[in-house]
Amino acid sequence: MTGLLTSTSVVTHRTCPLCEATCGLTVTAAAAADGGPPAISVRGDGDDPFSRGYLCPKGVALGQLHADPDRLRTPLIRRGTTWTEVGWDEAFAEAGRLLAPLLREHGRDSVAVYLGNPTVHNHAASLYTRVLVQALGTGYRFSASTVDQMPKQVASGLMYGTELSIAIADLDRTDYLLILGANPLVSNGSLLTAPDLPGRLRALRRRGGRLVVVDPRRTRTAEAADEHLAIRPGTDALLLAGLAHTLLAEGLADLWQAAPHVTGLDELRAALAPFTAEAVAAATRIEAGTVRRLARELAAAPSAAVYGRIGTTTTEFGTAASWLVDVVNTLTGNLDRPGGVLWPEPATGSPNTTGEPGRGRGVRVPGSRRTRVRQLASVFGEFPVGTLAEEIDTPGPGRLRGLITFAGNPVLSTPNSARLGAALASLDAMVSIDAYLNETTRHAHVLLPAASPLARSHYDLVFTGFAIRNTAKYSPPSLPLGEGELDESDVLLRLACTALGGGLSADELDDLTAADTARRLAADPSSPAYGADPVELLAAVAHRRRQDRLLDLLLRGGPYGDGFGAKPEGLSLDALLAAPHGLDLGPLRPRLPGVLRTPSGKVELAPPQLLAEAQRLAEHLDGLRAAPDGGLLLVGRRQLRSNNSWMHNVPLLAGGSNRCTLQLHPADAERLGITDGGPVTVRSRVGELLATAEITDTVTPGVVSLPHGWGHDGPGTRAAVAAREPGVNSNLLTDELPMDPLSGTAVLNGIPVEVLPG
Ligand SMILES: Nc1nc2c(c(=O)[nH]1)N[C@H]1C(S)=C(S)[C@@H](COP(=O)(O)OP(=O)(O)OC[C@H]3O[C@@H](n4cnc5c(=O)[nH]c(N)nc54)[C@H](O)[C@@H]3O)O[C@H]1N2
Ligand SMILES: Nc1nc2c(c(=O)[nH]1)N[C@H]1C(S)=C(S)[C@@H](COP(=O)(O)OP(=O)(O)OC[C@H]3O[C@@H](n4cnc5c(=O)[nH]c(N)nc54)[C@H](O)[C@@H]3O)O[C@H]1N2
Ligand code: SF4
Ligand SMILES: [Mo]
């Protein structure tokens, strides 16, 4: 542990791991006079070049999270409903005892893995979950991606050649920002890593820029915008197609700097023919004149960026919407333009910074494997999480019998969660690694605790790839691990060794992992370590352990790396250790054509899979125009002091505005006889729940909204604070059957529901 040591307190600087904004924090741990646990205070780090002191209430709450008595600190084994604290050796032995027979008798595919959202929020978890999954050798991989951003990855993969090549809105320089289905003033941004979104959006308007928000709710972000358009849920792809059609029909399309690198314009034009402004207007509830004006404004702005998030991806046309966002960015000349959308160049590398620049193998969509029950295709090596329950509870050969969950709570966060909860209860073996005994992990037979975020090192391997500036920051642990606690690298490696059936130690498996990383760098023509002897690369980082050794390899062999001495001014972990507030590596730069990894070496505006989606969208449009505008549609919403399904047990964040209410419009409330604060029953195809009504004109008529991640009143969990205001689980209502087909992503917005008083 490094840090500024005074007589009574240790001060460290670190990156907040809770959301994608990656704020810099200053953590002060003051020793208690009686030798008890230190008093922890968390502030914004004014010297962090990216966040400049910004933080939100969740960052402040990390101290209370660390101290939370309900946070798990000891491995647990469950027999029936009784949990017993055990040592680590016994816990891994029990995991092996349960998993080994399944793997042996039913094959590697009988045990699934589910990786939850916090996996991507620190480098130990990102690096060593890969090792665990490989050791397990299962094809049944699930993650929160298929209730989140997978559509954007599919669209970007098809257009640019890798699923991580997401073009990022150049927020600080744009003149016009069109936001669809995101509420960054509350979520603090997603696939748009930028600390202080509220300040950056204010700055956009202060410099004369225009902000337009498309959302069925008048969100905080909509309130702060120049214009708010209350769209009908689930129809963003149609609006975007209408914008693209208008640009082409009115001769406004001009690709500028991207023009020489783009292919497929003619096919695109033909595919967009049905989506006139008039045709999409009734379906989206956005007037044709407004559609045309938006298109003209986007084309006329010196620079503009269209940005879509959860409200656009978790719908039946998530991939089409994600594609059309970039189609509009391209047609308005904003692809690869400062102030438009650009690709980051992360310091630890990305699939679009490695290999031969400008060309590659592209992506394979749909994937090559199929689920057992519904025969749905894999996507980038994983299966849709909406199929997890049926793969467990449908009898027959090949049924899933075991599950490992890491940092996930799918019983609250995935569709038709009642079915999933029941399915988990039937498993022969379930092992979870988590910070809490919650709605999901209560089904585990072995529950392995995750250490406090303050007691581990941190580097943002993932979100540096989606950030509006190129940055690099390493955080050492702020506090030591508690007695008996293990770093997640050790937990994951030891579990991986267990899955391999013994014979290897965690250190040996880690050495193999590091050697593999070194070999890849030495073989990569884009790496400054190209052609080196991997043994020498490993020797150069031999003084480091675990994730920090792997990180040092990636940094030194990455796009800014020191090449293990070849470029002495370049980056290394030492360079980051010397800059505890982090390094700014500059604004995003145009990267065409080098960023591309498509087989054609071009931006693919009209890949066949997406043209087929346009066809499906056209049929959907016909259907919407033919059908009467029916009942109520349920959408979600995020809350500032909440973090998906967790952090509800931290007293600082509990209560107040964090209310799990069903919002509905006064006109709907009156029609249905519902009173503010009164009970309402909400029913969908898959389930029913009782919620508290909140009547508000911030939701558009015909739309109701319930936040996700609540429902902490189930049996067998351990979260005393959260249980006091449990809320209800909105995913009791969401349906696992409809899906965005190419991405396997669940539909979590625009769910048809019936709402009744009482
Ligand atoms: N209806 C509806 N459903 C949604 C969404 C929606 O908008 N509407 N959003 C979806 C989205 S975008 C996401 S990302 C998912 C999230 O879905 P999940 O990832 O399944 O759920 P989280 O609530 O993020 O749960 C994270 C879990 O990780 C644990 N944890 C926290 N930190 C660590 C750590 O460092 N290590 C380990 N091992 N465990 C840790 C927490 O205790 C918690 O149990 O939910 C999705 N579900
Ligand atoms: N405070 C807080 N911050 C978070 C999280 C959290 O739980 N709490 N979760 C984090 C995670 S995992 C993620 S992925 C990000 C997500 O970041 P965002 O996408 O910004 O999150 P949301 O607030 O869910 O915003 C989605 C918006 O889409 C709207 N919407 C719903 N349906 C539609 C539709 O059909 N069309 C349009 N145009 N809009 C629609 C909703 O009303 C909502 O305002 O937030 C991250 N940050
Ligand atoms: S916005 Fe809040 S939760 Fe997100 S990184 Fe910053 S302090 Fe952490
Ligand atoms: Mo997410």
Nearest ligand for residue 143 CA: 1
- Ligand 1 centroid – CA 672 distance (Å): 34
- Ligand 3 centroid – CA 187 distance (Å): 9
**How does pLDDT run across 326-340, given as a tens digit for each residue?**
999 999 999 999 999
The type of residue at 700 is T
Query: Residue 44: pLDDT above 90?
Result: yes
- Ligand 3 centroid – CA 160 distance (Å): 30
Q: Using CA atoms, how far apart are residues 346 and 471, in angstroms rounded to an integer?
A: 7
| Residue with CA at minimum distance from ligand 3 atom 4 | 19
**How does pLDDT run across 425-436, given as a tens digit for each residue?**
999 999 999 999
Residue-level pLDDT at 227: 98
Q: Using CA atoms, how far apart are residues 74 and 447, in angstroms rounded to an integer?
A: 9
Q: Using CA atoms, how far apart are residues 740 and 613, in angstroms rounded to an integer?
A: 10
**How does pLDDT run across 457-477, given as a tens digit for each residue?**
999 999 999 999 999 999 999
Q: Domain spanning 630-757: which CATH class is it, in words?
A: mainly beta
Q: What architecture (CATH level 2) is domain 1-67?
A: Single Sheet (2.20)
Atom of ligand 3 nearest to the CA of 18: 3
Q: Which two tokens stand for residue 622?
A: 């016909």
Query: Residue 514: pLDDT above 90?
Result: yes
In the structure, what pLDDT confidence band is assigned to residue 33 with cuts at 50, 70 and 90?
Answer: confident
Residue-level pLDDT at 32: 86
- Determine contact, residues 301/210, Cβ cutoff 8 Å: yes
Q: What is the share, in percent, of the chain residues with pLDDT greater than 70?
A: 99
Mutate which of 20, 56, 183 for ligand 3? The one with the most ligand atoms within 8 Å of its CB, which is 56
Over residues 3-8, the mean pLDDT reads 61
Query: Residue 503: pLDDT above 80?
Result: yes
Mutate which of 117, 493, 637, 650 for ligand 1? The one with the most ligand atoms within 8 Å of its CB, which is 117
- Residue predicted with more confidence, 629 or 69: 69
**How does pLDDT run across 569-618, given as a tens digit for each residue?**
999 999 999 999 999 999 999 999 999 999 999 999 999 999 999 999 99
Mean pLDDT of the chain: 97
Query: Residue 219: pLDDT above 60?
Result: yes
**How does pLDDT run across 246-278, given as a tens digit for each residue?**
999 999 999 999 999 999 999 999 999 999 999
CATH 2.40.40.20 segments of the chain: 630-757
Tell me which fold the domain 72-164+363-460+474-501 belongs to. Answer: Rossmann fold (3.40.50)
Query: Residue 1: pLDDT above 60?
Result: no
Q: What is the share, in percent, of the chain residues with pLDDT greater than 90?
A: 96
Mutate which of 188, 190, 466, 473 for ligand 3? The one with the most ligand atoms within 8 Å of its CB, which is 188
**How does pLDDT run across 651-692, given as a tens digit for each residue?**
999 988 778 999 999 999 999 999 999 999 999 999 999 999
**How does pLDDT run across 340-379, given as a tens digit for each residue?**
999 999 999 999 999 999 999 999 999 999 999 999 999 9
CATH 3.40.50.740 segments of the chain: 72-164+363-460+474-501
DSSP 315: S
Q: Could you tell me which CATH number the domain at 170-348+599-615 has? A: 3.40.228.10
**Residue in the structure block whose two tokens are 């240790």:** 10
Q: Is 643 in the pocket of ligand 2 (CB under 6 A)?
A: yes
Whole-model pTM: value is 0.98
Over residues 383-389, the mean pLDDT reads 98
Q: Using CA atoms, how far apart are residues 295 and 274, in angstroms rounded to an integer?
A: 17
CATH 3.40.228.10 segments of the chain: 170-348+599-615
Residue-level pLDDT at 5: 56
Residue 276 burial (CB < 10 Å; 0-12/13-18/19+)?
Answer: middle
Residue-level pLDDT at 721: 95
Residue-level pLDDT at 502: 85
Atom of ligand 2 nearest to the CA of 232: 35
Q: Which residues pair with 418 in a beta bridge?
A: none
Residue-level pLDDT at 8: 82
Residue-level pLDDT at 3: 54
Q: Which residues pair with 646 in a beta bridge?
A: 643
Give the number of residues written for the chain: 758
Over residues 136-153, the mean pLDDT reads 98
- Determine contact, residues 433/116, Cβ cutoff 8 Å: no
Determine if the peptide bond prior to 453 is cis (ω within 30°): no
Query: Checking phi first, is residue 542 left (phi over 0); if not, alpha (psi -120 to 50) or beta?
Result: alpha
Greatest Cα pair distance, the chain, in angstroms, is 75
Q: Is 184 in the pocket of ligand 2 (CB under 6 A)?
A: yes
Closest to 348 measured CA to CA, from 53, 570, 59: 570
C-alpha distances out from residue 153 to 8, 160, 191, 735, Å: 48, 10, 10, 22
Q: Using CA atoms, how far apart are residues 524 and 528, in angstroms rounded to an integer?
A: 9
Q: Which residues pair with 12 in a beta bridge?
A: 27
Query: Residue 6: pLDDT above 80?
Result: no
**Residue in the structure block whose two tokens are 């589910």:** 114
**How does pLDDT run across 103-130, given as a tens digit for each residue?**
999 999 999 999 999 999 999 999 999 9
- Determine contact, residues 272/248, Cβ cutoff 8 Å: yes
| Residue with CA at minimum distance from ligand 2 atom 38 | 181
Nearest ligand for residue 437 CA: 1
The type of residue at 359 is R
CATH 2.20.25 segments of the chain: 1-67
Q: Which two tokens stand for residue 104?
A: 């042996």
Atom of ligand 3 nearest to the CA of 56: 2
Query: Residue 536: pLDDT above 70?
Result: yes
